[in-house]
Amino acid sequence: MNWNNLWGYIHLILYFSNIMTNKVIIYLTRHGESEYNVLKKIGGNSNLTDKGLHYSKVLYEYFQNDKIDVYTSNLNRTIQTSKYFHETRAYPELNEINSGICDSKTYDEIKSLYPEEYEKRKINKYCYRYPKGESYEDIKNRVTPFMEEMLGSSENRLIICHQAVLRVLYSFFIKIPEQEIPHLEIPLHTLFKFTIFKQDDEIKKVELYKHYFSM
């Protein structure tokens, strides 16, 4: 038996095995319940309610025995949700959609104050841009470089951010028509686990697991 040839075969097997099994796990979750969630207001920079603060503790306990990198937006409600993790990084790219003149208002208030904008948004939610604000298309443009960085790593990641942003991030893993993105259900206190299998930096397979926390 030629041992040099044998070791060569083993190295080749290991090499191709590593290529085929290269994977990254990315967890997505919304911040805990905020004061504006209770008031049904959009945007803003409100703090967490007691229930939301409890979620921050429950979320930490879920991961406390795991090595994981944690990312948040720059807004209070995501930073407070990550409060028990020892090290986190805040990225403005993960901030909630900028709702412009509609910020900190309820949809009933928007309908009353800006009826034309209210109706325009219903026609095409993906492309609709709030006056002095953003659209879902704008969110995709600002988070794409961030997601490319996340997918280029082999470290497990937890991303804590906001409903509109998470809808867009979700669509990076599960391909859906753009017009359906604004209608994705992203409940509070829910963890989405994406196990992403890659080959030559190309996504080949994605497994999705959802965990609902009883609050």
Residue 130 CA to residue 197 CA, distance in Å, equals 36
Q: Is 96 among the catalytic positions?
A: yes
Catalytic residue among 30, 121, 167, 189: 30
Instruction: Catalytic residue, from 37, 121, 134, 167: name it.
Output: 37
What is the Cα–Cα distance from 183 to 2, expressed in whole angstroms? 61
Rounded to whole angstroms, the Cα distance separating 213 from 211 reads 6
Number of neighbours of residue 87 by Cβ within 10 angstroms: 7
DSSP state of 66: S
Catalytic residue at 31? yes
Q: Which of 121, 162, 167, 189 is flagged as catalytic?
A: 162
Compute CA distances 190 → 74, 76, 104, 138, whole Å. 20, 19, 24, 25
Options 33, 77, 117, 134, the catalytic residue:
77
Phi, psi of 115 (to 5 degrees): -60, -35
Tally Cβ neighbours within 10 Å of residue 49: 17
Q: Answer yes or no: 37 catalytic.
A: yes
Q: Tell me whether residue 11 is exposed, middle or buried, using C-beta atoms within 10 angstroms of its C-beta: 0 to 12, 13 to 18, 19 or more.
A: exposed
Residue 14 and residue 145: Cα distance in Å, rounded? Answer: 31
Q: Count Cβ atoms within 10 A of the Cβ of residue 202 and give its class: 0-12 exposed, 13-18 middle, 19 or more buried.
A: exposed
30 among known catalytic residues: yes
Place of tokens 């904008």: 117
Are the CB atoms for 156 and 69 separated by under 8 Å?
yes
Q: Which of 33, 93, 95, 96 is catalytic?
A: 96
> Active-site residue numbers?
30-31, 37, 77, 96, 162
